[in-house]
Structure 1
Amino acid sequence: MHGSATPLSASAASAWLLVLLCAVSGAYCLLRARRADRTVRGMAAGEAVMGFGMAAMAVPSGTGAWGPQVLAAVCCGAAVHALWLLRGGMHHAHHLVGALAMAYMALATAAGNGHGHEHGHGQAGLPVVTGVLLLYYAGYVLLGGARLVTAGGVLSVAAGEGGPGASGAEAGGAGELVRACRLAMGTGMLAMLLTM
């Protein structure tokens, strides 16, 4: 057996940390969806689905032979939901991109299943699509991190509050925590795309 001296390799440990990060983010979004009003509930529920889907996709042992197809179907459903939310404004476009990216990764995993895939992620995939998604999420993470750092102490929106000028990030939860959750999921997407 190769490398059996260490019970948990560094790559497996980082994969499990990614699973934990995405699952905690999904759980927080689910709690936010339960407490939020109608205008924020759909967005928070979509983020919860994305968080749990990313956690399932990041499991080092993979999701089994049927897992990628199920994940792709769930992500396509999330994409339809995000498309429906676009009626409320273009700020939901990120959710559409995220759902489509997850469906793309799930389909790439299904195509590469059993052909040298590692940590549940397929080696297959279109390099151009993967490259565009990498650029998008790298920019999203950098911009989100900069906004989170500069927003420290500025946002003081209590849970459930937010007037007409409150953004979707501020309404339905503490602004910084919502931004940090979204940044964590964006970082997780970037990490998963790097393994393709």
Structure 2
Amino acid sequence: MPLTLAWMLVALCAASGGYCLLRARRADRSARGAAGGEAVMGFGMAAMALPADTGPWGPPVLLAVFCGAALHALWLLRGGVHHAHHLVGSLAMAYMALAMTAGHGHGRAGLPAVTGALLLYYAGYVLLGGARLVTAGGAARPAGAVPAGVPGGAGELTRACRLAMGTGMLAMLLAM
């Protein structure tokens, strides 16, 4: 991955993680776990996208973090299948960290079938998320009203952060 693109991905993922962390602090108890999981994913993706070699300790630490995030996502599934994306994301990041561990660095290939399936999943996720964001942006609203799903609403910013992280995941998978 070109150096400029890698740093842009780091900045995008770190900003998304920061926003999700702020969201977790403000969220009620039921939404705090999902927002916290998204913050871990954002910061973890930023760490994984760093262009500098993290040394031999980096990939195993990332693998441990994302295995823990996968366990957290399994716990969140008690609240409904809408949390399945967190599990897929955590497992995808653990898979990429495992590929980094096996290859001792960035850009190492994993299993083609797994990488291909994740690419398809995230391509669909990004396309669907982008379509939903555009559709929500075109919604009509009464003057002065800023509901959660339209421009200026917190729901739209949350969707944009999820879309940014999904796009970042797609870019990292393509770099494998």
Q: Common fold, TM-score beyond 0.5?
A: yes
Deviations, residues 128-178 of structure 1 (Å, cap 9, x unaligned): 0000000000000000000000011548435xxxxxxxxxx99xx711000
Equivalent residues in 2 for 1:62-73 (5 A)? Answer: 62-73=53-64
Asked if 1:96 corresponds to 2:81, the answer is no
Separation in 2, partners of 1:37, 1:107: 34
Normalising to structure 1: TM-score of the pair? 0.82
Among 111, 124, 148, the residue aligned to 2:109: 124
Separation in 1, partners of 2:58, 2:108: 16
Runs of 4+ with deviation above 4 angstroms:
none
Separation in 1, partners of 2:147, 2:79: 21
Separation in 2, partners of 1:71, 1:63: 10
In structure 1, the gaps of 5 or more residues are 1-9, 159-168
1:39 Cα shift?
0.7
1:174 corresponds in structure 2 to 154
Among 163, 169, 172, the residue aligned to 1:189: 169
1:29 corresponds in structure 2 to 20
Q: Which has the larger radius of gyration?
A: 1
Among 151, 159, 168, the residue aligned to 2:136: 151
In structure 2, the gaps of 5 or more residues are none
| Residues 46, 82 of structure 1: 8 Å contact kept | yes
| Residues 56, 63 of structure 1: 8 Å contact kept | no
CA RMSD in angstroms, aligned pairs only = 1.8
Aligned-residue sequence identity (percent) comes to 78
Number of residue pairs matched? 169
Of stretches 138-147 and 60-69 in structure 1, the one that deviates more from structure 2 is: 60-69
Separation in 2, partners of 1:14, 1:124: 19
1:3 corresponds in structure 2 to none
